[in-house]
Structure 1
Amino acid sequence: MLSFRGAGVSDFVWDPEKEALNLSKHGINFSTAAGVFKDPRRKIFKDIGHSGQEERFYCIGCVAGRILTVRFTYRERKIRIIGAGFWRKGRSYYEEEEC
């Protein structure tokens, strides 16, 4: 598990077209998805399967009473959100604690 605390993250960024696609497919906009990083019990894992050209990660945490998984990368002191959804696999990593 990884942590970005103290890593100098200053902002969140994303592609508006990807956000629109994510919203239609998973019902989550990226402004809401960014809230997962505020969860003190969040869990961050490296996305080994999609880290070919750049390192990618998953952040799993609670937003509005539901467990959300956010895919992201870290570029130039910014978290770039790639996708987000309420995925069962992410939930299983977080379920030890109640949301």
Structure 2
Amino acid sequence: MTEFREFDDVFALCGRRCTLEVLTALEAGDARYTDLLHGITPQQHSRTFGDALRVLINDGYIRHRVDKHGTYYTLTDLGSTFMTILRQHLLHLQQWRYLRDDGYLAA
């Protein structure tokens, strides 16, 4: 079980409200604060959204830049690589779910 403990920070990030939604939205490219906030479904409270942005910035998954047109957010290499690996794991979980739901795996 200790091998899972070294990934507690990753599980916490995935379980935190709004973080995966922000990372997923930024896979399409840079986005402004308001576009991100209003583009995420389900709609998030601005405080929850702001907290998620702060965590993602502080942990190095996204960065923000400010120019005369507003504040923009983008995935860092860490965030982009994380999403690529996470999507690969999702494919494996989907395969497992199909096997389970089709009765190939016994409870």
TM-score (norm 2): 0.25
Instruction: Compare the two structures and name the one with the higher helix fraction.
Output: 2
Instruction: Compare the two structures and name the one with the higher strand fraction.
Output: 1
Find the structure with the greater CA-based Rg: 2
**Structure of greater relative contact order (alpha carbons < 8 Å, 6+ residues apart):** 1
